Amino acid sequence: MDLFDSELRVIAAAEELARGLGTDANHTVAAAAMDTTGAIHTGVNVHHFTGGPCAEVVVIGAAAAANAGPLVTIAAVGDHSRGLLAPCGRCRQVILDLHPDALVAVPDDITGQRSIVPIPALLPHSYRHPESAPTRLLRFHARYFDAVTDGTKSLTVRWNESHRTGPALAYFENTEHGPLPVEISSVMVKRLDELGPEDLDLTRPGALDRYIGNLRGHYPTMPADASVEIVRFRRTAADI
């Protein structure tokens, strides 16, 4: 996925905090996270011989102390110019359980470029804590705000995410629009190359090809035989 300015700000906040580290071996990684209001929270790891939390876990706690609600983006950066760091396995599980719709900034070991990926993609076939009941997010580009608000948009297709039926917040990327309460009524999984117009409520000639073309623009690495989620939802008036 291409990075939005808001996601670059999260990485920049972690980088700035990391530049101040390096004199204390107990604090070597900085993390930053953004909530749905655009506020950025920061924290550093706490190393100890008995064990200690990674920076990502610390920043989740800092955000919770500020009553931040669901987090939308998380990034961690190492001291001594080590750059962006992918979360360890334990952190991936914690993020998945507490903020299952967060995007995580990770480095590409081959190209050296930074990318942003949904946390479910970093932990496939994962264990889900049965007592975990986080507020869910359904992400949209800012251009869909009016259509979601007035109810004309009630279907979306997602790849490498893991949505469930029930209440959620429609979150609009890189915009000042606040999240809107929605209800996810159904989630159907189907292969991309088996999608038909009827699956997406499309009636105009060529509409399916255009839809899949737009979907590929959003997910450029999505394979032709990818399993995608067809998510149906409706705007609700109740607060979540």
Q: Which residues are catalytic?
A: 56
- CA contacts within 13 A on the Cβ side of 140: 27
Q: Which helix (H) or strand (E) holds 208?
A: helix 207-218
Looking at the DSSP bridge assignments, the partners of residue 186 are 232
DSSP letter at 41 equals: E
Q: What whole-number distance in Å separates Cα of residue 213 and Cα of residue 220?
A: 10
Q: Give CA 227 to chain center in angstroms.
A: 18
Nearest to 94 by CA among 49, 138, 64: 64
Per this entry, what is the length of the chain? 240
The set of long-range contacts for 215-219, using a CB threshold of 8 Å and a minimum separation of 24, is 215/157, 215/159, 218/1, 219/1, 219/159, 219/160
Residue type, 33: A
